[in-house]
């Protein structure tokens, strides 16, 4: 029997409990060339995962305890800006548990029925990775948190007065959710995660270790000074560090002697317009709009996003966290403001009082 308040999944009025095509929602993570290049560099085990010491230690305890008990661990939520290793950690969690991993994402699940199909096909102990979990539709979200808590989905067959709910029990499994915007997750869903790890930007020396490891895997000679240069221009983000490494390798192969030296790194990063602070085109466009167009702000996120031709979410989750961390941009109740280092970075005079706009 369906308990009052439990979510229902409408999957049509016949025997078709599992919608066609739902299996295709469980997609492989590496399906494009850039993703494939990334996948080759992913650490496979927790001990290979560089940095994020606190999250790594905490996670290691959760996993070891679960393995010791022979039970699936608590559900895990990973939050933080893009490219810091959430997907990598989800894969590591499955590998450490010796479990298989299913991958889907909030936007790929259009209807609660799609999620019911994925959940009902899970096998005992499997890890279900839901990327961008904050983008799940509300009915899917409600279905998910009952499944996470009670290991059950209620499938509603039929319509109107003749409808009946068939509770389907699920084997124990672990959800790993990833989000760039933990604040958008409704409390009931957030509360179902027994462990939440927040990933923060990496320090330069950690990125150097990521680069040295990647250069070893790619079998390219990377000089220490070049590693330091690439690390310092990688926005605290391993994905960017690895991407820049591949571009420096291209430059060294085509215009240099194959060695990734400091000179090769600098020349390549100039070609790709990555500036000395690691800011890319979008970052600079945001600073430029803030300072030149809006006189330093405050300006609302949507207006700023329109000015740089991007979605507000992209500006907020991709550019802004790093600009804020670098002390270039401030967030105030009235909008975004340019801080003195932003003006200096653009080579513009710092307007009087721009440091007091913040707060």
Ligand X SMILES: Nc1ncnc2c1ncn2[C@@H]1O[C@H](COP(=O)(O)OP(=O)(O)OP(=O)(O)O)[C@@H](O)[C@H]1O
Q: Report if residue 51 touches ligand X, rule: CB under 6 A.
A: yes
Closest to ligand X by CB, 174 or 180: 180
Residue 201 lies near ligand X (rule: CB under 6 A)? no
Q: Does residue 178 sit in helix, strand or coil? A: strand
| 243 appears as a binding residue in the annotation | no
Q: Is 2 annotated as a binding residue?
A: no
The DSSP secondary-structure symbol of 173 reads: -
- What the block records as the tokens of 192 is 């179902």
Tell me the C-alpha distance between 331 and 243, whole Å. 29
Query: Is 202 flagged in the annotation as binding?
Result: yes
| 3-state secondary structure at position 36 | helix
Would residue 239 show up in a list of annotated catalytic residues for this protein? Answer: yes
Residue 16 annotated as catalytic: no
Distance CA 64, CA 324 (A): 36
Residue 159 bears catalytic tag: no
The answer to whether 102 is a known ligand-binding residue is no
Using CB under 6 A, pick the residue from 9, 17, 25, 42 that binds ligand X.
Answer: 42
86 is in an annotated binding site: yes
Contact 157, 163 (CB under 8 A): yes
Point out the residue whose Cβ comes nearest to ligand X. 85
Active-site annotation holds for 131: yes
Residue 304 structure tokens: 């700023």
Residue 197 engages ligand X in binding (rule: CB under 6 A): no
Contacts of ligand X in 152-181 (CB under 6 A): 178, 180
Here's the x/- map for ligand X, 99-138, by CB under 6 A: it reads as --------------------------------x-------
Q: Are strands 174-179 and 127-131 parallel, antiparallel or unpaired?
A: parallel
With CB under 6 A as the contact rule, the residue among 7, 17, 43, 118 that binds ligand X is: 43
Neighbour-count burial of 347, counting CB atoms closer than 10 A to its CB (0-12 exposed, 13-18 middle, 19+ buried): exposed
- Per CB under 6 A, the list member of 87, 104, 174, 234 interacting with ligand X is 87
331 is in an annotated binding site: yes
The answer on whether 246 is annotated among ligand-binding residues is no
List b or e across 184-208, with b for residues whose CB sees 16 or more CB atoms inside 10 angstroms: ebeeebbebbebbbebebbebebbb
Q: Site residues for ligand X, window 234-263 (CB under 6 A)?
A: 238-239, 242
Q: Which of 131, 179, 233, 284 is catalytic?
A: 131
C-alpha dihedral (169, 175, 177, 183), degrees to nearest 10: 60
The answer to whether residue 208 forms part of the interface with ligand X (CB under 6 A) is no
Among 104, 179, 180, 237, the active-site one is 180
Instruction: Pick the stretch among 34-42, 225-233, 261-269, 330-338 that binds ligand X (CB under 6 A).
Output: 34-42
Whether 237 is catalytic? no
Do you know the residue count of the chain? 359
With respect to ligand X, which residue has the nearer C-beta, 165 or 210? 210
Handedness of CA 305, 311, 315, 317 (dihedral sign): positive
The set of residues, in sequence order, having a beta carbon less than 8 Å from that of 314 and lying 6+ positions away, is: 282, 305
Judge whether 205 is annotated as a binding position: no
For residue 84, give the nearest of 265, 234, 286, 247 by alpha carbon: 234
Q: Which of 38, 126, 283, 326 binds ligand X (CB under 6 A)?
A: 38
Among candidates 19, 8, 4, which has minimal Cα distance to 167?
Answer: 8
Binding-site entries for ATP: 41-42, 83, 86-88, 149-151, 192, 202, 239
- Per CB under 6 A, residues contacting ligand X are 38, 41-43, 49-52, 82-88, 131, 178, 180, 210, 238-239, 242
Binding-site entries: 41-42, 83, 86-88, 149-151, 192, 202, 239, 331, 336
Provide the annotated active-site residues.
86-87, 131, 180, 239
Binding-site entries for DNA: 331, 336
């Amino acid at each position: 029997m369906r308990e009052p308040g439990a979510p229902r999944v409408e999957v049509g009025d016949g025997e078709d409990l599992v919608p066609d095509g739902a299996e295709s929602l469980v997609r492989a993570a590496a399906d494009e060339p850039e993703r494939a290049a990334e996948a080759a560099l992913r650490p496979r085990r927790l001990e290979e995962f560089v940095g994020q010491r606190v999250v790594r230690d905490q996670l290691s305890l959760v996993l070891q305890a679960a393995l010791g008990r022979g039970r699936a661990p608590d559900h895990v939520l990973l939050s933080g800006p893009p490219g810091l290793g959430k997907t990598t950690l989800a894969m590591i969690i499955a590998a450490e548990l010796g479990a298989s991993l299913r991958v889907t994402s909030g936007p790929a699940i259009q209807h609660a029925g799609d999620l019911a199909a994925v959940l009902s096909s899970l096998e005992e102990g499997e890890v279900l990775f839901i990327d961008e979990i904050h983008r799940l539709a509300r009915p899917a979200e409600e279905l998910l948190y009952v499944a996470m808590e009670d290991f059950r989905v209620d499938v509603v067959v039929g319509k109107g007065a003749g409808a009946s709910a068939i509770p389907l029990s699920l084997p124990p499994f672990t959800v790993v959710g990833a989000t760039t915007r933990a604040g958008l997750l409704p409390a009931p869903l957030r509360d179902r995660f027994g462990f939440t790890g927040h990933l923060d930007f990496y320090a330069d020396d950690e990125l150097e270790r990521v680069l040295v490891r990647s250069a070893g895997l790619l079998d390219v000679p990377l000089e220490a000074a070049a590693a330091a240069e690439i690390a310092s221009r990688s926005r605290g983000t391993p994905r960017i560090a690895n991407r820049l490494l591949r571009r420096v390798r291209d430059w060294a192969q085509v215009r240099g002697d194959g060695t990734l030296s400091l000179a090769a790194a600098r020349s390549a990063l100039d070609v790709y317009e990555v500036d000395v602070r690691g800011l890319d085109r979008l970052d600079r466009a945001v600073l430029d709009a803030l300072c030149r167009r809006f006189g330093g702000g405050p300006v609302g996120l949507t207006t700023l996003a329109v000015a740089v031709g991007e979605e507000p979410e992209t500006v907020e989750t991709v550019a802004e966290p790093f600009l804020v961390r670098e002390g270039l941009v401030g967030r105030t109740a009235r909008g975004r403001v340019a801080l003195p280092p932003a003006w200096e970075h653009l080579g513009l005079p710092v307007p009087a009082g721009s440091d007091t706009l913040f707060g």
